[in-house]
Structure 1
Amino acid sequence: MIAYVTVGADDMVLAKRFYSAFLPALGYGLKEGPEGLSYALPVKPGQSPVLPDFYVKPPFDGQPASAGNGTMTAFEARSQRQVRELHSAALAAGGFDEGRPGFRDSYGPQFYVGYLRDPQGNKIALFSSDPNEPGRDG
């Protein structure tokens, strides 16, 4: 099981604006500190953490942050509509379009996805695969 994902960022203000445009709508809470941004799903008393957490931090080695070629983090939305809304909100918050929301021929008939780059260049996917919504062929 993946416990957390960390991406690097050089500008925490831009990173916060981008990630806060969609992660709270997916249930993530934000904690800020000198070490960066920590997004986590809420934990009820007596419940184990819901993983993974998502962290945005300056690189520990002090060098500029860079995005990994082929690296992507995907977040599941509740519906196709939410994918469209959050994709749009993330673009308005400084993100870059990497693929408009829609179905992709190479994935299953229910997989609806939009792709973005954050201000640092990290690739993000927002997807829904709800079998109760219309699929690619319907």
Structure 2
Amino acid sequence: MALRRDVMDAPFATPPDPVHQGKPAPQRKAALAMIAYVTLGADDLHAAERFYTALLLPLGYRMERYQGDLSFLPPHDPDAPHGVPDLYIKRPFNGAVASCGNGTMIALDVPTRADVRRLHHAACAAGGSDEGQPGTRADYNADFYVAYLRDPQGNKIALFSNAPD
């Protein structure tokens, strides 16, 4: 995905405030804030480990355990314009049962359509459930090839590629 330099470099005005006595604040460039990590709750970390290692290790992630929880760290690419977020799978901090967000989904951009098919199959075989077989969708452009699944806890995952077959 290309970063929109025209948007990132465009100055934006802040509203007048008492410090500037009714005058607009000086122009400044928008800061680019990147998502650093995503955390998903899981009650069964063994099932989550089986699922996410089948899904993420083939994409170059590595898994680490930290205080009994799972950390999936993406491969480091020093030439990438921004980092890829880490994924943490943890028991909920408050001790309650983990739950999924309605309308929440994590999407993984994978290199090829064959990878979408292969990873969808591997993740389902590792305890995930199918939410939409690999293919194009009428609601999206013809290059958007996607599959949907749920992890053992019920979190929704999309695997997609914009590469032609």
Which structure's relative contact order is higher, taking Cα pairs within 8 Å and 6+ residues apart? 1
Which residue of structure 2 aligns with residue 4 of structure 1? 37
Q: How many residues align?
A: 131
- The equivalent of 1:25 in structure 2 is 58
Q: Which residue of 2 aligns with 1:16?
A: 49
Q: Which 4+ residue blocks in structure 1 deviate beyond 6 angstroms?
A: none
TM-score (norm. length: structure 1): 0.89
Counterpart residue type for residue 78 of structure 1: P
- Normalising by structure 2, we get a TM-score of 0.75
For 1:44 and 1:100, the matched residues in 2 are separated by: 30
Q: What residue ranges of structure 2 are gaps of 5+ in the alignment? A: 1-33
**Equivalence for 2:122:** 89
Among 143, 152, 155, the alignment partner of 1:110 is 143
The 2-side partners of 1:44 and 1:73 are apart by 21
Following TM superposition, by how much is the alpha carbon of 1:10 offset from its aligned partner in structure 2, in angstroms? Answer: 0.3
Q: What value does the CA root-mean-square deviation take over the aligned residues?
A: 1.8
CA distance in 2, matches of 1:74, 1:16: 18
Q: Secondary structure at the match of 2:106?
A: strand
**Matches of 2:41 and 2:126, distance apart in 1:** 18
| Structure of larger gyration radius | 2
- CA distance, structure 2, for counterparts of residue 96 and residue 129 of structure 1: 23
Q: Residue in 1 aligned with 2:113?
A: 80
Question: Shift in Å at residue 61 of structure 1?
Answer: 0.5
Among the aligned pairs, what percent are the same residue? Answer: 55
SS at match of 1:23: helix
Gaps spanning 5+ residues in structure 1: where? none
